[in-house]
């Protein structure tokens, strides 16, 4: 029987509607309008699309979504000065630096200058530490969205063996930490595979929940997947024919897994929905 589809697009729409209602309530009761500023350095075409989608989503939810566009040759000191200015602006509740940055800029140093209470991407060292200690404030949006998909999709995480393919700061590491948290959507036993892992496919075959975030198109095939597993595909790639695919070979894996996310329409919409939720949280806590 083909796998059940974990529909991120439909769930994200529901979350966005709930968030919009909460934004309206916050505006009415406390006269606070959540504000998100996205910093876009350079003219990377893909980044421009992502930033436009984020800004449109903010505005649709009743928030103030702004984009600060900066030249690709901006100096690190000037970029940090702009971040500090946004840190001090009470109308800005969330700050997001669109990655990747041009190679002459130190991403880690830049991200660490965002106020941790405005770091709605969850990448500041303080927020990473809070997640690791079991008291999260802001969690990176993609892992947070995956957890919501698992919860609403009825995928039991407690006691499950979750295998995360990839150890990035954006997805892999925070995903593992999130699955280890106590409570709903957590309490899993987690294995993280990476470029140094010997025979990642062997670990993947043991997974009750398999999360693929390795950045290689259709790397995960049916022989990587335990029958009945839930498979979350974080990747997004464009084939030569222009169609999109993920890190998972959907046609074959869907015949083995019990549940699977599509590409597009799976993890991507959830990432944007969680960004809105984090921005609302930042405004409430301001």
Residue-wise pLDDT for 176-204, tens only, equals 999 999 999 999 999 999 999 999 999 99
The answer to whether 63 and 272 are in contact (CB under 8 A) is: no
User: What's this model's pTM, rounded to 2 decimal places?
Assistant: 0.95
Mean pLDDT (whole number) for 144-173: 97
Mean pLDDT (whole number) for 142-148: 98
pLDDT at position 4 over 80: yes
* Contacts made by residues 216-219, CB under 8 angstroms, sequence distance 24+: 216/247, 217/245, 217/246, 217/247, 218/245, 218/246, 218/247, 218/248, 218/249, 218/250, 219/247, 219/248, 219/249
Distance CA 13, CA 30 (A): 25
| Residues labelled catalytic | 54, 98, 121
Distance CA 17, CA 23 (A): 10
The two tokens of residue 257 are: 């897994």
Residue-wise pLDDT for 45-66, tens only, equals 888 888 999 999 999 999 999 9
Mean pLDDT (whole number) for 76-82: 97
Residue-wise pLDDT for 228-280, tens only, equals 999 999 999 998 888 999 999 999 999 999 999 999 999 999 999 999 999 99
Contacts (Cβ under 8 Å, ≥6 apart) of 48: 40
- Please tell me whether residue 94 adopts helix, strand or coil conformation: strand
Structural domains of the chain ordered from first start: 32-116 (3.40.50.10860), 141-268 (3.40.50.720)
Residue-wise pLDDT for 81-126, tens only, equals 999 999 999 999 999 999 999 999 999 999 999 999 999 999 999 9
pLDDT at 1: 72
Mean pLDDT (whole number) for 140-168: 98
pLDDT at 240: 86
């Amino acid at each position: 029987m083909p796998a059940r589809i974990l529909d991120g697009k439909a769930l994200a729409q529901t979350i966005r509607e709930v968030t919009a209602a909460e934004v309206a309530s916050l505006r009415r009761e406390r006269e606070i309008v959540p504000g998100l500023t996205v910093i876009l350095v350079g003219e990377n075409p893909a980044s421009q699309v992502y930033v436009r989608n984020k800004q449109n989503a903010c505005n649709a939810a009743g928030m103030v979504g702004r984009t600060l566009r900066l030249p690709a040759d901006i100096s690190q000191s000037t970029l940090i000065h702009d971040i500090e200015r946004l840190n001090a602006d009470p109308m800005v509740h969330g700050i997001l630096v669109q990655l990747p940055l041009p190679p002459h800029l130190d991403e880690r140093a830049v991200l660490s200058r965002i106020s941790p209470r405005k770091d709605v991407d969850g990448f500041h060292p303080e927020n990473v530490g809070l997640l690791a200690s079991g008291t999260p404030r802001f969690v990176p949006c993609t892992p947070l969205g995956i957890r919501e998909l698992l919860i609403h999709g009825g995928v039991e995480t407690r006691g499950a063996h979750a295998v995360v393919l990839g150890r990035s700061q954006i997805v892999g590491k925070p995903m593992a930490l999130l699955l280890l948290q106590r409570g709903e959507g957590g309490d899993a036993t987690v294995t993280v595979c990476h470029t140094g892992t010997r025979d990642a496919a062997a670990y993947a075959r043991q997974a009750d929940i398999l999360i693929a975030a390795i950045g290689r198109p259709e790397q995960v095939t049916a022989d990587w997947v335990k029958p009945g597993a839930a498979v979350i595909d974080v990747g997004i790639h464009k084939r030569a024919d222009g169609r999109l695919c993920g890190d998972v070979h959907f046609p074959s894996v869907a015949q083995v897994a019990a549940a699977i996310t599509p590409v597009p329409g799976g993890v991507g919409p959830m990432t944007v929905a969680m960004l809105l939720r984090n921005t609302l949280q930042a405004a409430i806590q301001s």
